[in-house]
Amino acid sequence: MIFRQLFDSVSSTYTYLLASRRGGEALIIDPVLERVDRYLKLIEELDLRLVKALDTHLHADHITGLGALRDHTKCITVMGEQSGVDVVSMRVADGDDLRIEGMSLGVIYTPGHTDDSYCFTMADRVFTGDTLLIRGTGRTDFQNGSARAQYDSIFNRLLKLPDETLVYPAHDYKGDMVSTIAEERAHNPRLKVRDAAEYEALMAGLKLASPKMMDVAVPANMLQGLHQEEVARRGWALEAKAALALPGDRENVLIDLRERGERQRHGTIPGALHAPYADLAENIGPGGMLHELAGIRRLVFFCAFGERSAMAVQAAQDGGLQSACHIAGGMAAWKLAGGALAG
């Protein structure tokens, strides 16, 4: 396994780069915008292909590198379904599995620091975001934070993980890099409370100053969606309403780019072909399934929110598949337009 813990000294943020092997797919957690060039260089040096970029929550102390990494690598951006971000490629919920080649992260919804905070488990470790820090916990006094919810997330979810689970937080201000669940249970001063009410009182008494970057970072982090004007201007985007008549139309083929878990949880468009975004290059390349189909039918890509499909249209068009277009806004727009669903 490749595991790198990277540090941004300005915001004291830890960013994690994960992959199962050299030459394979990689995932990054909590990237910082100013460090994107360094991540890209490391990814290249390790011969990795970044396929997913994930934020544990909407950050208030730094600008996320999600959008920039997507623009450079065409990776999938991921956040929780509660996040106030305008558009990410994929939204996850409690109990999901987040997969890349050779690796799977468990998804735990842990509100409290913010209402969109998530933790991610992987084999012997957990990425705790700002929910559980080393000898601390994330503040709960803004961004719909809740000390009571955080108590529940920590005591009833994180502390139920095996004692030896390694704890990798999103920040540390003292130089600590890793802890364990048992160590935090025993020595974290914020966890020395009898009940939720006592935890609430403790958090209410902290009187912290607002993060320096907050007024800049929060608005910037809420606007990470891909700029899709060019795809629309070139006539490669269909409004969901205009796509309602497509199922059953033999001139077109609807192509679902989402992953299996997303299809199971949210349904799909009747008759759609499943061709996950991860396999796009192979599918649209010479000899690929979609390459062949493009000669006889119009390719209508769709995904969850229109971001993966916009990138797919651009890639297909760049590869000479002139019949490629997509459904703007993806399944979310399709459902709003009253589109039919198949399980």
Q: Tell me which residues touch Fe ion (CB under 5 A).
A: 130
Query: Closest CB to Fe ion among 51 and 85?
Result: 85
E strands, the chain, in order: 2-8, 13-19, 25-29, 49-54, 76-80, 90-92, 97-100, 103-109, 118-122, 125-129, 132-133, 136-137, 166-169, 179-180, 237-238, 252-256, 273-274, 298-302, 324-327
Query: Closest CB to Fe ion among 55 and 256?
Result: 55
Minimal distance, residue 59 CB to Fe ion, in Å = 5
Minimal distance, residue 165 CB to Fe ion, in Å = 21
Query: Closest CB to Fe ion among 130 and 256?
Result: 130
CA proximity to 54, closest of 25, 78, 75, 76: 78
* Contact assessment for residue 328 and residue 301, using Cβ atoms and an 8 Å cutoff: no
Q: In angstroms, rounded to a whole number, what is the distance separating the alpha carbons of residues 143 and 278?
A: 33
Query: Closest CB to Fe ion among 25 and 55?
Result: 55
Minimal distance, residue 278 CB to Fe ion, in Å = 29
- Residue 325, Cα to own-chain centre: how many angstroms? 24
CA proximity to 150, closest of 140, 142, 160, 141: 140
Beta-strand relationship, 252-256 and 273-274: parallel
Query: Closest CB to Fe ion among 111 and 329?
Result: 111
Q: In angstroms, rounded to a whole number, what is the distance separating the alpha carbons of residues 14 and 129?
A: 9
Minimal distance, residue 214 CB to Fe ion, in Å = 10
Q: In angstroms, rounded to a whole number, what is the distance separating the alpha carbons of residues 120 and 193?
A: 25
DSSP assignment of 227-278 = --HHHHHTT-EE-HHHHTT-TT-TTEEEEE-S-HHHHHHH-B-TTPEE--GG
Minimal distance, residue 203 CB to Fe ion, in Å = 14
Minimal distance, residue 309 CB to Fe ion, in Å = 30
Q: Which residue's CB comes closest to Fe ion?
A: 130
Query: Closest CB to Fe ion among 130 and 172?
Result: 130
Query: Closest CB to Fe ion among 118 and 236?
Result: 118
Minimal distance, residue 57 CB to Fe ion, in Å = 6
Query: Closest CB to Fe ion among 96 and 130?
Result: 130
What letters, b where the CB count within 10 A reaches 16 and e where it falls short, cover 200-221?
bebbeeeeeeebebeeebbebb
Minimal distance, residue 130 CB to Fe ion, in Å = 4
Query: Closest CB to Fe ion among 142 and 155?
Result: 142
* Contact assessment for residue 51 and residue 27, using Cβ atoms and an 8 Å cutoff: yes
Q: Read off the tokens for 294.
A: 């493009």
Residues forming a β-bridge with 294: none
- Tell me the HSE value of 42 on the side-chain side, using a 13 A CA sphere: 20
Minimal distance, residue 108 CB to Fe ion, in Å = 16
